[in-house]
Amino acid sequence: MTVDPSMTQISAPAPADVHVSLRKVVRTFVLPSGLPLHALGPIDLDIGRGEFFAVVGPSGCGKSTLIDVLSGLSPPTGGDVLFEGKPVHGVPDGVGVVFQEDASFPWLNVRDNVAFGLRRAGVDGAEVKRRVDYAVGFVGLNDFSAAYPAQLSGGMRQRVCIARTLVLQPRLILLDEPFGALDQQTRLLMGDELLRLWRETSATVLLITHALDEAAMLSDCIGVMSSRPGRFIDFVRTGWARDRDNRVVSTPHFGEITARLWDKLRTESMKIMGVQSPSSPGPR
Amino acid sequence: MTSAGWIRTAVVVAFVGVVELLCRTGLIPNTVLIPPSEMARELVSILEGGEMTGDIAATFRNAVLATVIAVAIGFAVGIVIQAMPALRRSVEPLLASYYSVPTFIFYPVFIVLFGVGDRAIIAIAVLLAVVAMITATLNGIDRIPPVLKKTARIYRMSRVRTALLVELPAAAPYLFTGVKLSVAYAFIGVIASEFILSGSGLGYEIAYAYNNFENRKMYALMLLVLLSVALINSVLDVIDNRLQSRLRR
């Protein structure tokens, strides 16, 4: 499938039960020099309830800005964000975010890190214990539950953050390159665990990643973003069964998906390299 | 103990041993320095006699009060300066060069303001300690990782809860550096002020013993100050190490 080059904005086929919507969302920043920076949009996007949606795009295309806007951390400059039909102003209830950077609390051990959100939400002690036990086991940190983040590897700390988000049972989970600090084998295993969790909770997941194979293996639908200002230039429906696992990587269809993603991204990534290369002639 | 720790202990023991030997053999006359063992013996008898208990209590009380006041004011001022970037940019160079000013030159001002006594002593000690705490507070707030504040927002925490449950513990290791420095400066401030504007306290008694040629008493009190400061510092170091070990590297 090719994209009509005259189209500036492509919409994903609207899902039956829309959970999250972006309507003409634009985000601009004012640089310290006073000049505006158009980071994102316009974006129109509908993500269905319970859908696993991945976003891939060249570096600096506004993927993290997309998470900030979706989670209500930073309001869009223009357009509307809707979560469960209601406009997003500030962080809504039921949204969990795993950030790209290590966000574990260094003064709390693994258990207390995972329990932090539950305690803030006033969940009673026995229930906190039950859910923390499950979440710590889920990310494979049972043997480290009394350890402090400084004693853990970067990948383990990121798993603490994943457990800390999952334990709150959010209805929308936003993941900003959560496996970036993990080695390839752990990535694959965590990917499977994420799929297992997604099946069990029926949460809607939006995963930002730069790994095309990760996006192709995990998602129902993949949105490909352009270089800045980030907009969607393609949507790929994978058609995987809900009970998929990492074995899909050996199917021919997986190869087709990644080939198509790469085909779209190559042009965008080259644009970025061309712009950033000091030897390239500037725009006239 | 680590090998560095053993060597450190050995250096101190050897130094004391050499001084003891030099005093005992008469190479250092007793009018200049008394043997460390004599200092210790005299210190024990002073402590048992109880004649200095009031002075010791006065010095410690003033140092503790000065520390508490300096930490509280320093923390509050640090937060205010941090909240106003323009103020911070103009004030920061002044804070950085603050310790090049010999604060003690202002002692007459404090006598005029507070009279001779505890209040003037505490004021000088606070003046000496407070800037270390301001600087530590600014540093601590700067070092709070932005992603932790974002996390607090995702948890929909109020501003006050974010400050108490996220920002304060995140800044704690840096704030404690300020507390440690404040304790040290407060002791220096209190004991040094007692030399010049007090009728009690360890500083006063050391000066008094010196003026009356009471060598043994003077050295015993010096030893007391050294031991106290070493003890306080090692307790603070234990807490500091605990906090530092939790920092990400």
The verdict on a CB contact (< 8 Å) between A106 and B155 is no
CATH of B57-245, one of 3.40.50.300, 1.10.3720.10, 3.40.50.620, 3.90.550.10: 1.10.3720.10
Cα–Cα distance, B30 to B39 (Å, whole number): 12
Decide: A235 and A224 in contact? Cβ < 8 Å: yes
CATH number of the domain residue A208 falls in:
3.40.50.300
Q: For residue range A53-73, what is the model confidence (pLDDT) as tens digits?
A: 999 887 777 888 888 888 888
In angstroms, the separation between the Cα of residue A64 and the nearest Cα of chain B is 12
What pLDDT does residue B182 have? 94
CA distance to partner chain A, nearest, from residue B154 (Å): 6
Do the Cβ atoms of A234 and A264 come closer than 8 Å?
yes
The answer to whether the beta carbons of residues A102 and A52 sit under 8 Å apart is: no
Integer Cα distance of A13 and A235 in angstroms: 9
Cβ B147–A106 below 8 Å, yes or no?
no
**Tens-digit pLDDT profile for residues B82-139:** 999 899 999 999 998 888 888 888 888 888 888 888 888 999 999 999 999 999 999 9
- Any idea where the domains of chain B sit in the sequence? 57-245
Of B151, B161, B169, the CB nearest to A107: B169
- Cβ–Cβ of A150/B170 closer than 8 Å? no
Best residue in A91, A152, A160 for a mutation probing chain B (most B CBs within 10 Å): A91
* Entry pTM: 0.80
Burial status of residue A145 (CB atoms within 10 A of its CB: 0-12, 13-18, 19 or more): middle
**CB-side exposure of B32: number of CA atoms within 13 Å?**
9
pLDDT digits (tens, 9 = 90+) for A113-136: 999 988 888 888 888 889 899 889
Q: Which residue has the tokens 């070493």?
A: B230
Which pLDDT score is estimated for A277? 43
Evaluate whether residue A41 is within a structural domain.
no
pLDDT at A283: 47
The confidence score (pLDDT) of residue A279 equals 44
Tokens 């694959």 correspond to A188
- Strand pairing of A86-87 and A78-83? antiparallel
- Among A32-46, A84-98, A240-254, the range with the most confident prediction by mean pLDDT is A84-98
In this prediction, residue A44 has a pLDDT band, given cuts at 50, 70 and 90, of confident
Cα–Cα distance for residue pair B219/B212, rounded to 1 Å: 13
Q: What is the distance between the alpha carbons of residues B191 and A123, in angstroms, rounded to a whole number?
A: 52
Q: Is the peptide bond before A58 cis (omega within 30 degrees of 0)?
A: no
Q: Mutation test of the interface with chain A: which of B144, B155, B160, choosing the one with the most A Cβ atoms within 10 A?
A: B155
What residues of B are in the A interface, CB distance below 8 Å?
145, 147-148, 150-151, 153-157, 161, 165-166, 169-170, 172, 245-249
ipTM: 0.81
Handedness of CA B12, B15, B19, B25 (dihedral sign): positive
Contact yes or no for A57/A226 (Cβ under 8 A): yes
Chain A: residue whose CA lies nearest to B154: A91
Distance CA B215, CA B33 (A): 8
Q: What is the pLDDT of residue B180?
A: 94
Please tell me which of the candidates B154, B245, B246 has its beta carbon nearest to residue A71.
Answer: B154
Indicate which of A99, A113, A119, A153 best probes the interface with B, i.e. most B CBs within 10 Å of its own CB. A99
Does the distance separating the beta carbons of B247 and A106 come in below 8 Å?
A: yes
Q: Residue A21 falls within a domain, yes or no?
A: no
Q: Which domain holds residue A170?
A: 51-73+88-274
pLDDT above 70 covers what percent of chain B?
Answer: 99
pLDDT tens-digit series, residues B14-29: 999 999 999 999 888 8
Within a domain: residue A13? no
| Segment holding A195, helix H or strand E | helix A184-201
Contact B248 A150 (CB under 8 A): yes
Does residue A14 carry a pLDDT above 70? Answer: no
Q: What's the mean pLDDT in A196-215?
A: 86
Min Cα distance A153 → chain B (Å) is: 10
Residue A257 in any domain: the answer is yes
Distance from CA of A106 to the nearest CA of B (A): 6
Question: If you measure CA to CA, which chain A residue comes closest to B145?
Answer: A103
Max Cα-Cα span within chain A: 67
Terminal Cα distance for chain A, rounded: 34
Closest CA to A207 of A48, A19, A56, A38: A56
Element (H, E) at A187: helix A184-201
Q: Provide the domain count of chain A.
A: 1
Q: Does a structural domain hold residue A35?
A: no
Cβ <8 Å between A105 and B155:
no
| CA proximity to B189, closest of B207, B205, B176, B202 | B202
Nearest to B151 among A93, A95, A103 (CB): A103
Kind and range of the H or E element at A97?
Answer: strand A95-98
- Could you tell me which residues of chain A have a Cβ less than 8 Å from any Cβ in chain B? 71, 73, 90-91, 93, 95-97, 99, 101-103, 105-107, 116-117, 120, 148-150
Mean pLDDT along residues A178-204: 81
